[in-house]
Amino acid sequence: MQDVSFLIVDDCQLVRNLVRNTIENRLGSENVYTAADGKEAFELLNARKIDIIIADWQMPNMDGDELLRRVRKSDKLKATPFIMMSSLGDKEHVLAAIQNGVSQYVMKPFSAEKLEDAIQKSWNSANRRGAVRLSSLPEHRVRIQTNNRKIAGTVKNISHTGMLVELTYSRELHLFNNYGIELDIFDLNHEGNMLIEPIYGIPVRLIALDTSGGTKVCQMGIRFSRDMLHETVKSKLDYLLKTLGENDSDLIQDN
């Protein structure tokens, strides 16, 4: 990751130095910028090209949560991997960070290995999002198998590397767990219904949606675990994508 640029945001200089040393010594990057709070960081983000943001939650002037929300609302910055560092490990804070679009959540104190792992996962996930995805789909239903039940949702877009689904939020859904998935396609190309399963995938993004009712709805970005898929499943996915492409579905980029 020598050519990857990093921004470290923390009001503690010792933490900034520790994170910088990990990046330089373990990842080989010398493109490391630092900021003491979210306000300084956001100004720097608009002035320079930054590939990965690593920010503390609790800071003066602008905290990490506000910085995360501003980044995700920015057309220029919204796809930038964002790693949150925090000593706040309760479910409410972790869930809030996930809903606001955090890429990884790292608890303080953390080891160099833990931070490196979070950086690699964030960077790899961001790179996979460049795959062309198909939207304006016919009706596709998806069911995600948790430990206790199947949670139903709908597919918003799909590619060879993964899909974006919309579903009712459940505390049984966790980022970076591997889930079994069933994909139901209704009357594809007037050939009848198709069931594709088991598909194995890992949620890499979980975002809350604004709803008028009391039901919590979320969008979940799922990366397919291609090495775990049976050849029959891969063939069905390939056929689905080929058919959707021939039917002039809209091509979009995942973001």
Angle between helices 64-73 and 38-47 (to 10 degrees): 30
Tens of each residue's pLDDT in the chain, 255 residues: 778 899 999 999 999 999 999 999 888 888 999 999 999 999 999 999 999 999 999 999 999 999 999 999 999 998 899 999 988 877 788 888 888 888 888 998 889 888 998 898 888 776 655 445 554 555 678 899 988 889 888 888 888 788 888 888 888 888 888 899 999 887 565 556 788 999 999 888 888 776 556 668 888 888 888 889 898 998 888 888 877 765 443 333 333
pLDDT of residue 236: 87
What is the reported pLDDT for 251?
A: 34
Distance CA 242, CA 233 (A): 14
Maximum CA pair distance of the chain? Answer: 63
Domains of the chain: 6-130 (3.40.50.2300), 140-247 (2.40.10.220)
In this prediction the pTM is: 0.53
Backbone dihedral region of 131: left (phi > 0), alpha (psi from -120 to 50 degrees) or beta? beta
3-state secondary structure 5-36: CEEEECCCHHHHHHHHHHHHHHHCCCCEEEEC
pLDDT given for residue 73 in this prediction: 92
Q: Which pairing describes strands 32-35 and 6-9: parallel, antiparallel, or unpaired?
A: parallel
Q: How far apart are the first and last CA of the chain?
A: 21
* pLDDT for position 103: 87
Q: What is the pLDDT of residue 249?
A: 39
